[in-house]
Amino acid sequence: MRVTIVEVGPRDGLQNEATILEPAVRAELCHRLAAAGLPRIEAASFVNPKRVPQMAGAEEVLAATQRRPGTTYAGLVLNERGYERAVAAGVDEIHYAFPVTDTFALRNQNATVADSVELAGRLVARAREDGLRISVTLSVAFGCPFEGRVEPERVLQIAEQVQAAGPDEIILADTIGVGVPRQVRELVEGTRALGATVGCHFHNTRNTGIANALAAVESGAMILDASVGGTGGCPFAPRATGNIATEDLVYLLHGMGYETGVDLQALIACAEWLAERLGRELPGQVYRAGGFAPVAG
């Protein structure tokens, strides 16, 4: 079986870093990741650079990226203005994300959950008219830094409303890394029962990210977000640390018999390159330990 990895390092991986990388360097990261075989790359975030200065110059990133045939380049958007910027920049795919709790939604996007669901419908319709793929991410689906535990019933109710608009996929995001495999199975199976194509986005804040990724795949999610080197975090979510490391995930999946199309050694080289640019050791473990022959992929 094949699992599609969506590389979010150039966006989610860098948005919380103290070191701000220039657009040309971020474009080079996209190029290196594509050369390693990552089929889908979240290249930039079309948000207000005053709020997230690490993501300034999104259009420049897309313009400088050497497009690799067969690779999809996506942009994250939070509103219609962001959508219009992303389309004008030439993205192949739209990623729209919103929190499933009102407190976080208002803090992060100045909108209620109901407003965000309505916007999801409009953006899906626009993407269809523009001939673009679109995924909708439900953030803090496993727990919110402000409201605490999020009941699965609430998440599934919102997922059902979003699915009615017909996005290409729904991504369940553990934004602050509080989820455990039991929750993952319940939400993935429940969202699949709505007729949705399901993906997941995990952070490794409490060291459960890789276990959650495996639970997601075993429950039928064939799309997983990950960030090279385990970089990442949300500027608006207290103590939200890095995403699961792409190379750690690839090592696990290859060892379990899943196909990804990713060259693990080339991916490890990407993590090493990024660590040099950021001037620090990254959280990922496989890029430091190295692969192992039976599952090097």
Hey, which residues are catalytic here?
234
Give the span between the Cα atoms of 143 and 163, in whole angstroms: 21
Tokens representing residue 195 in the block: 């007729």
Give the span between the Cα atoms of 78 and 97, in whole angstroms: 6
Residue 207 neighbours by CB distance under 10 Å: 8
- Of 294, 144, 281, 159, the C-alpha closest to 221 is 159
First to last CA, the chain: 14
CA quadruple 209, 214, 218, 220: dihedral positive or negative?
positive
CA quadruple 114, 48, 145, 215: dihedral positive or negative?
positive
Burial degree of 60 (CB within 10 A; 0-12, 13-18, 19+): middle
- Of 4, 29, 2, 11, the C-alpha closest to 275 is 29
User: 64: Cβ–Cβ under 8 A, 6 or more apart, which residues?
Assistant: 23, 24, 27
Residue 275 amino acid letter: A
Residues forming a β-bridge with 205: none
- Of 264, 174, 267, the C-alpha closest to 212 is 174
The CA distances from residue 252 to 173, 243, 277, 296, in Å, are: 20, 15, 26, 10
